[in-house]
């Protein structure tokens, strides 16, 4: 019975978080790209540069906030996916799910830390 409720909650929370996070992430990334130098914008690795410079002080706070919220929503969706993977009756899924879930939670913690450090008054 518990697994049935966990499945319903994971599906009910994970899918909307993924959709809303993806919807918010696109415009936030485009706004951040507008603030980067031209050589970063034209690079093939612009996603890596975007993540690196997303919380710099010259990026407006509302853009940083939108980027942070979209990443947190995507992280919640990945944690819900890990819960769903754990319920699959497969050994590899049961091993991979806790590893993936803990990795996502650590990533969300560090993302929160970077965002909060960027909002600190200087």
For 30-83, the pLDDT digits (tens) are 999 888 888 877 778 777 888 888 999 889 999 999 999 999 999 999 999 998
8-18 pLDDT, tens digit each: 888 899 999 99
- Cβ-based neighbours of 100, under 8 Å, separated by 6 or more: 78, 81, 82, 85
How far is it, in rounded angstroms, from Cα 118 to Cα 95?
35
Residue 79: what pLDDT?
Answer: 93
pLDDT value for 100: 92
């Amino acid at each position: 019975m518990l697994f049935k409720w966990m499945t319903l909650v994971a599906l009910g929370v994970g899918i909307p978080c993924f959709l809303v996070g993806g919807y918010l992430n696109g415009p936030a990334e485009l706004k951040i790209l507008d603030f980067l130098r031209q050589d970063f914008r034209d690079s093939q690795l612009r996603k890596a540069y975007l993540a690196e410079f997303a919380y710099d002080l010259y990026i407006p706070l509302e853009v940083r906030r939108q980027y942070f919220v979209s990443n947190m929503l995507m992280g919640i969706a990945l944690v819900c996916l890990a819960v769903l993977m754990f319920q699959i009756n497969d050994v590899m899924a049961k091993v991979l799910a806790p590893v993936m879930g803990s990795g996502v939670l650590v990533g969300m913690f560090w993302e929160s830390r970077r965002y909060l450090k960027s909002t600190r008054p200087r």
